[in-house]
Structure 1
């Protein structure tokens, strides 16, 4: 067996907020992880869909970003975007 080559192997303290809310057409169960690793952005996991994205305010303003990352409709992305603007 060859020796494993690590690119990095770090451990750090994080803060995680678990939040669930119901939009007009979809429920969102999110884990929002704050870490020093992502240059001020948050790691946002959608527990129901098993999808995640690293999100900052600049990403929220990018057309189609949430729709693509979470495979949701424009309407659902609008609801998620509205919530994320409050917490990011």
Structure 2
């Protein structure tokens, strides 16, 4: 068997927040991970939808970003965006 070639193998400190809240039409179960790895952005995991994205303030202001990343309707994305603006 050939030797494994790693592109990187880092262990980093992180802070994780687990939060669940109800939007107007759906429930959100999120894990929000803060680390130095993503240049000040957060790794936001949607545990119900099995989707994730690296998100910063600039991404929240980008039209259609959350809709695409999490496969949400505009209304549901607005609920998520409103919450993330408070915590990111």
Matched, 1:87 2:87: yes
Q: C-alpha displacement at 1:55, in angstroms?
A: 0.1
- Distance in 2 (CA, whole Å) between partners of 1:71 and 1:16 is 23
Unmatched tracts of structure 1, length 5 or more: none
Q: How does 1:1-88 map to 2 (within 5 A)?
A: 1-88=1-88
TM-score normalised to structure 1 length: 0.99
Deviations for 1:30-81, whole angstroms, at most 9, x for unmatched residues?
A: 0000000000000000000110000000000001000000001000000000
TM-score normalised to structure 2 length: 0.99
Stretches (4+) displaced over 3 A: none
Aligned length: 88
- Distance in 1 (CA, whole Å) between partners of 2:82 and 2:24 is 13
Q: C-alpha displacement at 1:2, in angstroms?
A: 1.0
Unmatched tracts of structure 2, length 5 or more: none
**Could you say what the CA RMSD is over the residues aligned between the two structures, in angstroms?**
0.4
